[in-house]
Structure 1
Amino acid sequence: MNDFARHLCSRLPTARIDLTTRAAYTSDASIYRAMPAAVFEPRDTTEVVTAVRIAAEHGVAVTCRGGGTSVAGNAVGTGLVLDFSRHMNRIIELDPDGATATVEPGVVLGALRQHAATHGLTVGPDPSTYSRCTVGGMVGNHACGPHSVAWGTTADITDRLELLLADGRVLSATRGGSGDANIDLRLRQLRDRYLAALRTELGRFTRQVSGYNLDALLPEKGFHVARSLVGSEGTCAVVLGARLRLTRVPPARVLLVLGFPDVYAAAECAPMLAKAGALTVEGLDAPLVEALRSRPGRAPGLELLPSGRAWLYCEVQGANDAAAVSDARRLARQAGVPGRVTTDPGQIAALWAIRRNGAGTATRMADGRAAWPGWEDSAVPPKRLASYLRDLHFLMDEHGCNGTITGHFGEGCLHVRIDWDLESKHGMASYRNFIAAAGELVVAHGGCASGEHGDGRARSELLARTYSPELLGAFAAFKNIWDPAGVLNPGIIVNPVPFDADIRPGPGRDRLELPLVQRLHADSDSLARAVQRCSGVGSCRDASGTMCPSYQATKDEVHSTRGRARVLSEMLRGETLPDGWRSKQVRDALDLCLACQACKSECSVNVDMATYKAEFLHHHYRFRLRPRAHYTLGWLPVLARIASVAPRMLNWLTSRPTPSRWLSVVAGLEPRRPLISLPPQTFRRWFARRTRSRASAPESGTVVLWPDTFSNFLDPAGAQAATQVLEALGYRVALPDGPVCCGLTWYSTGQLKVAREVLARSVRSLEGHLRAGRTIIGVEPSCTQALRETAAQLLPDSAAVRSLPNQVRTLAEVVAGHQGPWPFGRLNGSAVLQPHCHQEAGHGHRPETDVLARLGVAVDVVRTGCCGMAGNFGYEPGHWEVSRAAAERGLFPTLRAASPGTAVLANGFSCRTQIGQSGVRDIRRAEHLAQLLLRALPSGSSGAHNGS
């Protein structure tokens, strides 16, 4: 293997054989694990040909990978992994008249659908992972999705495939042939030899995906060689490109959601709805909804579900909205159960998110137990679905299992996640017995183990229980025609590896389980269990979301939440990354994590990489010298306090190029970042010196303003304005006794014990106010969120900390919820709002937009997440490019597009700093919401003050 790696890297220098990258590719969205020998992200066909030829010469297996969302272990291997998603992702041609698209294999389905939509077209198959799965992956595992009930599967829309064989030949397969006369002859001979088996055992129902799609070779189906390779999972050829047939989008579509007393009633009704013309007939059961309700944070859409214990989602088309609504109501009457018809785009998106995120949500039951995708995609003829479901539940009861169910009920296909014990030998034996029995059960109902997503490692062994020896012989002969050396994705479909081999969460997986500084409440204080949350469905790769700004900038799997989770998992496993907390590979994987916390809320299972990073950095640098930036930025509260004694001296140094560069070098900071300047006085000094204008008996009571490090020492304008705004609302404003800090800068640099000590001392200064029931108002969103949530991880036994989530509020929340007189006038302007990423991971920015609407301010919200500065991240060396790229995703373009005079609102100090250093001309200085509210007060209503 070393000879292979050396040969590969000598010919293709961008090939990656480092442990960090290989660890990130050990798994997909399945329960399987395999450490690859090398990973290569080809830029063009020539590089693919070279890589495959080198692998074939050395007898190294080749596994193709797109978005890595395969649930059956299709996209993991011990040899060379080809990742097409990073570079080979072009839409080569979209023909609106012919309704076809020609694409490279790494094109993300969501991007193709978005491009096609401009011509009134779409891609029929649309799996729930459409925002990150690739066309090559769809071809490989025969993806289907909700609309396949009406618009067909990937095989149905595949017109042509560009192929690379392991021997280096490049072919173009389509209807009528492969482009190679010898291969076509052998394929026809195979078809004719096994004609009876192909006609009687295959093509019995639409979701019969198990095995090779050999019925596409039948004469009545046009000897469609390209379609025979759909679902071959890269075992026969490498897909270099595809031409797909597109679907015309109906003029109008509405969503009908039906509620049923149980999942069996939903399954009984589903075939009728499919035959009646519904574009989708998607099912989900109560355990999935209960699991979603148990998640922290917001879960929009649940309140829209009609009453019931199971639901069907039926998209209904029409010539216009009225016609579609009328037809949807007709279907609801036929179903005879409670239903909701909606045309509202927001409601439709929220409802579909419940179903779409099911694959991730279902990996944790409502009580926190892990559930796994080992029996994920079984399918039966739709009329047998209800009886199959009853028997499947009976089988689960027999084995002491529980699970969640979603699926394409209109086509008889189920997605099931089950809470097997995959971590002990006894549990693994039970798992094998269950899968073997389930394989027999689904066949008894006329079905198969794979209704989409291929057979992979999870189901290939079950083909012997599904088909006759004759048909299995046809599969082996088909594989041999294309890949006689067995180089391409071995162990899948033909000569399968056992389905209980190479299980990622298997027995003895975690050898490193040391006491943690933080309390991981939801994961039994186990980092291994926390990391295992990552199901691999890849929502962190969704370009439309806010997760993983560094991945969105680099498109490197290592920099995704999933990639980092896999690397951490390998560290805890202690096999391939044996250095434990000292692991350089893990440090490198976590280095570009901005700790924006988006994964904490957007990930369907709430992976919290910011927390894991802080814990790792603490142990990694324990009793060791840290990077200088950790001392400079981590101890910023102390340094800022010292510098505030003589702010003019510091500002003189930082405003001059040579001293500024020298200070950056000494401090270990990014030299391209301008150093910040200090205000002439701190917020606390301003607060102490000003003349209070409010009476001693305030109308609205006393509130406590939290004078965080940033608002006190670095930019006090927001805290000053907040004080005056609160007084205008009738509150008496108090400050905590003595200096306070939430410890965030120490926390984000992994100095957890210092962070805990600082936080504990600061919380003690609030105890009297907390006992009095006073509201604590945060000015800086990151500090506010730290008090609300992070504090409980560092000080879990503190009664005061337990009360913080109920008593800490943002200024916007207080203003939006104020019940007294409204003292603000209308501003009738416009504003750009950059929400703080930590606030978005918590309670969101809705209070801000509510306040702005009441002020008459039209707001353009930057929805791409983190600004890219992310506290200390943007000032650390090596982060400049990613920091700027993150801002270019949405923040900087929004600023450039803003009209002159538009207010720029950013409650976070880091966000305001990034905006100030953006280089965007003719924009106003970013300010805190409090400053905008202060301008909305009538003259004099904020009270006289000194020193503001």
Structure 2
Amino acid sequence: MQAIRDDLTTRAAYVSDASIYRRVPAAVAEPSTVEEIRELLALARERGWPVTCRGGGTSVAGNAIGEGLVIDTSRHFNRILAIDPDAMTATIEPGVVCDDLQAATAEFGLAYGPDPSTHSRCTIGGMVANNACGSHSVVWGTSADNLVAVTVMLADGREVSLERGGTSDERVTRELERIRNRNLAVLRTELGQFPRQVSGYGLHHLLSENGFDAAKAFAGSEGTCGIITRLTVRLVRRPAHTALAVLGFADAFEAAAAAHALRVPGVYTIEGMGADLIEALRMRPGREDAGSQLPRGGGWLYCEVGADTADGARQRAGELAALVADRVVDSAVIPEGPEARALWAIREAGAGVATRLPDGGEAWPGWEDSAVPPARLAEYLRDLYALMDEYGYSGIPFGHFGEGCVHLRISFDLASEGGLARYRSFIHAAAELVHRYGGSVSGEHGDGRARSELLSTIYSPAALRAFAEFKRVFDPDGVFNPGVLVNPEPIDRGIRPGPGARTFDVAAVQAFSRDGGSFASAVDRCVGVGACRSDVGAMCPSFHVTRDEVHSTRGRARSLAEMLRGESITDGWKSRETLEALDLCLSCKACVAECPVNVDMATYKAEFLNRHYRSGLLSFVGPGRRPMAHFTMGWMPYVVRLLSKVPGAVRAVNWLESFGPVEALTKRLGGIEPRRRMITFATQPLTAWHRQRNGAARGGDAVVGRSGDAGETVVLWPDTFTNFAADAPGRAAVEVLEAMGYRVLIPMGEVCCGLTWHSTGQLGQAKRALRQTLDVVAPLLEAGCPIIGLEPSCTGMLTHEITELLPDDARAANVAQLAVGFGTFVAAHLDAGKAWPFRSLTGHGGAGDGGPAAAVCQVHCHQKALGEGAHGYGPELRVLERLGVATSVVGGGCCGLAGNWGFEPGHYEISQRLGERELFPAVRAASEETIVLADGFSCRTQIAQGTDREGVHLAEVLRSALPGQHLPGR
């Protein structure tokens, strides 16, 4: 039997989904077979646990959490069992992720129609359970509409199959017929009145005219009637070509008013959003130009059309504006491709982006998925906004305007008793409003804990009785997901960010400038949309390997939130459970860029470690001591600097470490993973080489530069790794920059960005190192010289973390403005049309004579986290293209070493598995002539220790393009 996980570390990770609700489960299980599910249900009966089934945990209504046993089917019970391209169906297990099914059916030209914005991580079982829809529901309908058959397990372990015409169980079939026959008027007049009316149970599917479809009636039951063990779903034919018509309107209301007129044949989506969503997105780091490609307007509709040819799709898309000519103010037609995908990314980020308003305030789900008949959407939306104004609330609308469904996050005050009372009053008033428009409190994603109480507002007592009868047919003892749909819990019970959520919130060491200085507010950024569980992108590396919710960014955020609350995790910052949850965080910072709300788990981890352990050198001895690796790796800048000052010491250390027993003893004493190889140190620091090369120092001992150079002065940053361990990139950078016409200075004093202390949570020492650094470089700051970083992680400290650690030091802000990555600086030089002394590397290996040189590029995770724009990897790619180098960028994000993390015991297996995802295979597959490019010292170390190749820095590639030089390794 699958092991039950009842440890607090796991339970804390499952306390919430993407809703505002919190329930601490008694246990979690991740079955892989039907028999294991049966055994789990028997155990739940024995222990008196209610049962909640969970897929991707992206529910916004609180229907994927519970206080008993949570059965998570996403990790193991996720096989695609059969695809029938002739019948256009697929048979699957419930834990199959939507995108995985899309990928498997694409080879047949087919697709699964429902595609909610969480399609990269939500499971089909969860989609069917919550009757999810997605942007293409205009043409392909809801999950219920695309369900052919479903097999469910009841609380007693029996499996029942449901399909059109009935079920495999005669008793169940008779009871469903009885419910239908007793409630014909209710089913025909209250249910199924418009496409997005999904609140309650879909009993109208039991009508004879609807084929007595028991499977479709079960869809949307939100885990309250049984556990789905198998599904057969309908597939649809993908259009050969698509084009996107983006229509601009004066505001979101005008867009809503126009939407229903666009429900014409050939239109696959009619998605709407307002300018507020764009403003909120532009608040995100690196997204300042978001939406710049949109046509003029204050509200927009995305209308995708399909056709047999690309020209036909573009032509049909171009005709749509004429259908709403009286309202549209501007329009654009975008053919299928990168630009269209970029526009869709804006819409799909809405669920996360909308949780932070343009003014930085928090916004929450609650009135999340209301829907009305499409022709009445504009009227309803105006009245809803008037109601929000009455309560002093603001929010950001977006959603399926063509279907009358609106997603909306609102600035509720959920942290106080008064705020909760006001929340409750608003929700009931909103339910009355939507009922007046003939609408539904839920247009997809189910009612859950957020809206089940409201069913009595929109449905008659007779309809509610029919719902209760339906649940009793499948779940007479109320085992499954109690409190949802039938006998609902109060909508204000167990609010996660509610009163008492911040027992252990104290003044943070770091500024948390985006969150008002509050660590708890920073943690609350995680609203649970689960982008960290996606296989797309770099977030979250450890989850990609383990598939364990605890190791997702969301799971860690939930553990931190539980620690701050102090109810389940009661020892606050000393929590071993939270330490365990954070242990596999590589501090790669992918979440900063890829999380829709820019959760920064690396920063949260540093803050936690700083408080979890005592400060200073004494923290490495006695009870509650830090891991010795935090000293060995964290204090490395200090130790190697001391060694470099003792003549012959570095050479002696390298020589001693070349002996296996000595290296093993060093690793044991230093708390280093025994399977790692120790790094070697440069016998002459870069700074010493530069001083010797350029003669006497200019301006005292602060900096050294070539005295005869003319032209602009730049500062090359001597980070610890480049200065003391791998100086080849530094030497190459000096030669390259001088060849480009710059006078190169290097600080000679004791400078350090504090990275190793920050990543090990020794924030006091990181701040001291930075203050000392600022004292040394003060003259350079006054001169305004660009500060060029070679090590991406150190450059990131200088451009981002320095102002969070020293928010009141103007010099820190100056450094953040002046610091720039090496590749970005060279690209700016190139773009400015300045002297370009480099020859093309075309014809110098990789693709045969006359072909471009080839390179496999591992992008440093901190560099990737800053995006592909001015401060990401895009500039470096432009430089390589100019050099005639054909580049292949390794996907997958972090290399797996992640600085000190990969050298700490207990991380080796995960580190190697991360390397084996894409990096190691790509390097091994590269020819000997191919350049292996990695700007990060950690990346180069991981490559050297995981393959038989050595990585080089961009500076070394550029030096090879100078006259008389050759490619690295040639």
TM-score w.r.t. length of structure 2:
0.94
- The letter for the 2-side match of 1:33 is R
- The letter for the 2-side match of 1:523 is D
Asked whether the 8 Å contact 1:359–1:537 carries over to 2, the reply is: yes
1:928 to 953, 958, 964: 953
Asked whether the 8 Å contact 1:694–1:727 carries over to 2, the reply is: no
Asked whether the 8 Å contact 1:301–1:350 carries over to 2, the reply is: no
Asked whether the 8 Å contact 1:30–1:71 carries over to 2, the reply is: yes
Q: Where do residues 258-657 of structure 1 align in structure 2 (5 Å cutoff)? A: 258-298=247-287, 301-336=290-325, 337=328, 338-622=330-614, 624-644=624-644, 645=646, 646-657=649-660
Q: Distance in 2 between matches of 1:746 and 1:58?
A: 47
Partner of 1:7: none
The alignment status of 1:710 with 2:702, answered yes or no, reads: no
The alignment status of 1:783 with 2:803, answered yes or no, reads: no
Q: Deviations over 1:497-536 (max 9, x none)?
A: 0111111111122111222211111111111111001010
- The letter for the 2-side match of 1:856 is G
Asked whether the 8 Å contact 1:519–1:793 carries over to 2, the reply is: yes
Distance 1:377 1:256, change over 3 A: same
Q: Distance in 2 between matches of 1:149 and 1:227?
A: 18
Q: Distance in 1 between matches of 2:176 and 2:966?
A: 86
SS at match of 2:588: coil
Partner of 2:666: 663
- The letter for the 2-side match of 1:375 is W
Q: Which runs of 4+ in 1 moved over 4 A?
A: 691-695
Pick which of 186-195 and 833-842 moved more. Answer: 833-842
Partner of 1:827: 841
Q: Where do residues 903-918 of structure 1 align in structure 2 (5 Å cutoff)? A: 903-918=931-946
Asked whether the 8 Å contact 2:694–2:706 carries over to 1, the reply is: no
Asked whether the 8 Å contact 1:300–1:350 carries over to 2, the reply is: no
**Over aligned residues, Cα RMSD in angstroms?**
1.5
1:63 to 48, 52, 60: 52
Q: CA deviation at 1:560?
A: 0.6
Partner of 1:816: 827
Partner of 1:796: 807
Q: Distance in 2 between matches of 1:133 and 1:897?
A: 34
Partner of 2:211: 222
Q: Distance in 1 between matches of 2:342 and 2:140?
A: 23
Q: Distance in 1 between matches of 2:144 and 2:786?
A: 60
Partner of 1:3: none
- The letter for the 2-side match of 1:111 is D
1:175 to 164, 167, 171: 164
SS at match of 1:241: strand
Q: Distance in 1 between matches of 2:656 and 2:540?
A: 36
Q: Distance in 2 between matches of 1:397 and 1:563?
A: 35
Partner of 1:80: 69
Partner of 2:752: 741
Q: CA deviation at 1:640?
A: 2.0
Q: CA deviation at 1:260?
A: 0.4
SS at match of 1:489: coil
Partner of 2:845: none
Q: Distance in 2 between matches of 1:499 and 1:370?
A: 19
Q: Distance in 1 between matches of 2:495 and 2:836?
A: 61
SS at match of 2:304: strand
The alignment status of 1:198 with 2:187, answered yes or no, reads: yes
Asked whether the 8 Å contact 1:653–1:659 carries over to 2, the reply is: yes
Q: Distance in 1 between matches of 2:289 and 2:904?
A: 37
The alignment status of 1:889 with 2:917, answered yes or no, reads: yes
The alignment status of 1:856 with 2:856, answered yes or no, reads: no
Q: Deviations over 1:586-628 (max 9, x none)?
A: 1000010000011111111111110010010011001542111
Q: Deviations over 1:278-298 (max 9, x none)?
A: 100000011111111112223
SS at match of 1:777: strand
Q: CA deviation at 1:654?
A: 2.4
Q: CA deviation at 1:360?
A: 0.2
Q: Distance in 2 between matches of 1:450 and 1:180?
A: 31
Asked whether the 8 Å contact 2:694–2:707 carries over to 1, the reply is: no
SS at match of 1:543: coil
Asked whether the 8 Å contact 2:840–2:883 carries over to 1, the reply is: yes
Q: Distance in 1 between matches of 2:420 and 2:341?
A: 39
Q: CA deviation at 1:303?
A: 1.0
Percent of aligned pairs sharing the same letter = 54
Q: Distance in 2 between matches of 1:249 and 1:699?
A: 62
Partner of 1:679: 682
Q: CA deviation at 1:274?
A: 1.6
Q: CA deviation at 1:268?
A: 1.3
- The letter for the 1-side match of 2:303 is C
Q: CA deviation at 1:379?
A: 0.4
Pick which of 36-45 and 813-822 moved more. Answer: 813-822
Asked whether the 8 Å contact 1:260–1:309 carries over to 2, the reply is: yes
SS at match of 2:306: strand
Q: Distance in 2 between matches of 1:732 and 1:808?
A: 16
Q: CA deviation at 1:691?
A: 4.9
Q: Distance in 2 between matches of 1:940 and 1:205?
A: 71
Asked whether the 8 Å contact 2:705–2:745 carries over to 1, the reply is: no
Q: Distance in 1 between matches of 2:711 and 2:351?
A: 48
Q: Deviations over 1:832-882 (max 9, x none)?
A: 111111122222101110100000101111121111111101000000111
1:701 to 704, 712, 729: 712
2:775 to 764, 784, 809: 764
Q: Distance in 2 between matches of 1:142 and 1:316?
A: 24
Asked whether the 8 Å contact 2:282–2:289 carries over to 1, the reply is: no
Q: Deviations over 1:627-671 (max 9, x none)?
A: 111110111112222444423322223222222211111111111
Q: Deviations over 1:412-439 (max 9, x none)?
A: 0000000011111111111011000000
Q: Distance in 2 between matches of 1:211 and 1:322?
A: 43
Q: Distance in 1 between matches of 2:202 and 2:710?
A: 75
Asked whether the 8 Å contact 1:632–1:667 carries over to 2, the reply is: yes
Distance 1:145 1:941, change over 3 A: closer
Q: Distance in 1 between matches of 2:931 and 2:582?
A: 35
Q: Distance in 1 between matches of 2:739 and 2:527?
A: 49
Q: Distance in 2 between matches of 1:808 and 1:290?
A: 27
The alignment status of 1:20 with 2:9, answered yes or no, reads: yes
- The letter for the 1-side match of 2:26 is A
Q: Deviations over 1:109-156 (max 9, x none)?
A: 011111111211111000000000001100110010000110121111
Distance 1:733 1:121, change over 3 A: same
SS at match of 1:275: coil
Asked whether the 8 Å contact 2:266–2:307 carries over to 1, the reply is: no
- The letter for the 2-side match of 1:839 is Q
Q: Distance in 2 between matches of 1:434 and 1:277?
A: 39
SS at match of 1:255: strand
Partner of 1:37: 26
Distance 1:201 1:479, change over 3 A: same
Task: Give the aligned length.
Answer: 928
TM-score w.r.t. length of structure 1:
0.96
